Amino acid sequence: MSDELALDFSPFIKVYKDGRVERLLGTATVPASIDPQTGVQSKDVIISTAPLISVRLYIPKSTSTESTLKLPVLVYFHGGGFCIESAFSPTYHNYLNSFVSEANVIAVSVDYRLAPEHPVPAAYEDSWAAVKWVESHLAGTGPEEWLNRHADMNRVFFSGDSAGANIAHHMGLRVGSEKLACFKLKGIVLVHPYFWGEEPVGGELALAESVRKMVPDLWKFTYPLTCGSDDPLFNPGKHPKLGELGCEKVLVCVAEKDSLKDRGWYYSEVLKKSGWNGVVEVMEAKEEQHVFHLFNPSCDNAVAMLKKIVSFMN
């Protein structure tokens, strides 16, 4: 085994010259369970074997076995720069337990394939397969009883953080541009979205050179065939179909000290000018860093953000 590095994206991932990939974060997993704090129940479902795609489903305590209570559906895409983390990590499992309890929704947390073993666009393809799988429950005759019984297909939401927010946006765009006459996608929540572009926006020129280099370098690492930072997958303002976003409202959450903050604001501006006829709003958390809410879920800003998202969905 060679210890010579080919690529070093610490503190996330390292690739060695012999091809070995070492993930420095996001490799721990926890089983699905009944959460003792919230009573939220989760289970894992394989939705495709080739490629292998799984989802972790969550239902709140309010859905007893007998009840046929219909609840909004949240399709969630985890973050991690397209190359680390999973739907089964303690970080996302804990977040969705508390979210599902607070919002009283069903959640479908998507476990998509990761780069570099499965370069982008694999993550988008798997996520779209998960969206289509959710759609298969429209008539209440899908493969998953929890969704057949409890999913209100007129109140579907997409959300994700960082790379997952990027995915959530593109899934919403696909719902709109492919005129998916299925469930009703009410809204999308983008938390600290991982977007970029060739031209700096806002205060990006003041960012450290290392940051301005790492963001696009990580994108190229996960998507070697990309045309660069103005790829419409990475810079939504460059997408010719942006105005066809398939929902009626968008909430963008940004954090004051996050180097991606200005991209979140910029996204809201280009979306308003795109001809899309929905409503977009931005919530900024003061003094906070990228995905702070996952690491410090009980801090005031994280609680305020959760309450904002819950009210957006309800």
d(CA 189, CA 313): 9
For the chain, report the end-to-end CA distance as a whole number of angstroms: 53
d(CA 42, CA 159): 18
Name the active-site residue from 258, 259, 262, 293.
Answer: 258
Active site residue 162: yes
The DSSP letter of residue 59 is E
Name the active-site residue from 54, 86, 98, 162.
Answer: 162
Name the active-site residue from 137, 192, 239, 290.
Answer: 290
The string of DSSP letters for 69-100 reads: --EEEEEEE--STTTS--TTSHHHHHHHHHHH
Give the 3-state secondary structure percentages of the chain, helix then strand then coil, rounded to 5: 30, 25, 45
The string of DSSP letters for 229-289 reads: TT-TTT-GGG-TTGGG-SSSEEEEEEETT-TTHHHHHHHHHHHHTTT--SEEEEEEETT--
Tokens describing residue 78? 């985890």
Q: Count H helices, E strands: the chain?
A: 8, 11
Active site residue 93: no
* Enzyme catalytic residues: 162, 258, 290
